[in-house]
Structure 1
């Protein structure tokens, strides 16, 4: 098999012009060396390329030459090709015409119509999400009523398991956080009330803020972070592995098996966790009041009982089932939206936590306005 003539690249610089002479056969086998030599050309001086001694050139070598020409011209210099026969010149023109042109996107002017369209789409998405949550809430009520009518279909073991996961395992973090919140409230309240000689009213401050608002709100936020993500991850993983489709094949209702025990466990355990948070928060506040203000535990309890209405505790506990329902429904709904990839599972888990916490805070604000209107 005859060998191709050796290729050669000669570069010189005369009178401020860079001269390049290509001789022999320049093919894909030597394109790396050709491109390296061409890249060494400066882009601050014109270039003249002589192809009169060229015996052969393929598209790879033509691409290297055309790419260098575009680089030189982009620097506002000129690369001139001389001595090319008709075949080589045709190849260079074909390669140059085939190179993709960089697409420059002109910035789109945002008009009022565009903003209204974005607002409308966001509103439509929010309403669609609320409709989906309402549907899942109705599905839970329907399956719960079915379990009441047919007790044999109710999964008591699953309910006990989820009560342990949702409630018992959350007690340490809920109690610790509520205790610290009580300590902080008592300390900050004492600092402000001491200016007016009204330190004893720190008991009223703790009772109202913890029993009415912070106890159940902080508990719900903690549970939303733990439980909504757990529900989404568990149900989403089952959906990824097609276990939910297998349930339907076996004649099992995923809502009956997956939704009812989880949401019902939240409904049972969140009020209990709220009570624990109230007690530990008051204990933390009483401890700080004793240390900082000298209010004895006996005086603290006496003033708490005499000056705090049971309505404050009732208002806080009324919120618990609503918060539990929101967290459970959002977690189960997000789990069912998971697609068949791990990226979707992670995105929906994060989304469920954010949505659950946001829903709890909005619901608490609605409750505050409602009870204020009732004069409570």
Structure 2
């Protein structure tokens, strides 16, 4: 990517990472991914708004058909985008990277993989494609002739050690861990504990550190280190459960706000701006609208959701949180019902003044 930025004549580099997905979906959308890749390749000059001719002609054709039928311009599907990408790259080599393929719904994952294979095999120029995924036999079955490179825990060990030392030193410097100087031996114990058990899970480190920061004494931290000495990253669900349990016990209102925020993220079909998301959550939990700020919402949710400044919206800190929420009852039907009731309440309570009151249902 650095080479591409420094040399506009370099081969196109097309990428999609799961954080780009329209935030809140339980799973990434196959069409959306290939649309995103097509968009990157279609733009010749962003400042001049110059679009490649092949893509522009296809849009104009679709727009003309839609106007004739009195419909909106339909978005291209996977196969449509694959054809456009082939046209664009007919005489241009390119590299395409897609991260988190396992996050695509299994029922439609084959469409994404078949489109990428088609681009690789049928485009006249050289196309290199890199996909990342957790272990998934379904994906391997579609890519039987692809080269595989497995990232083991040892491959990330050095990065993990640097990250752990940085996080521990940061919370100590900011006085988030205890209110006094933290003894050097305790610092070493914390670093060793986190490095030994983190595996490849950086989020696990963050959640553990946040839990340690809630403890009030050195003795409490040492006791937690001893009791968790057999913990593994598989216990991240227990961390999620513990965080939500603490919120529920100590602040029921905060728990209601957090669960509403999670529900919105689980079922959104389009990304909401930060302002819209705050408004949605603020009007969902009490008779009188709350005046939440973004820092308050992130703190209430214990940073299980994060701010995506690139997309101007919020998303889950990790896909494992969505999987955990689904396991404890945040199903599609449940979250859709919660959000639908919120929308109905807003429509009923915020009707324009010129609407006759007879239309208002009795409460």
CA radius of gyration, larger in: 1
What is the TM-score with the length of structure 1 in the denominator?
0.20
Higher helix proportion (structure 1 or 2):
1
**What TM-score do you get using the length of structure 2 for normalisation?**
0.21
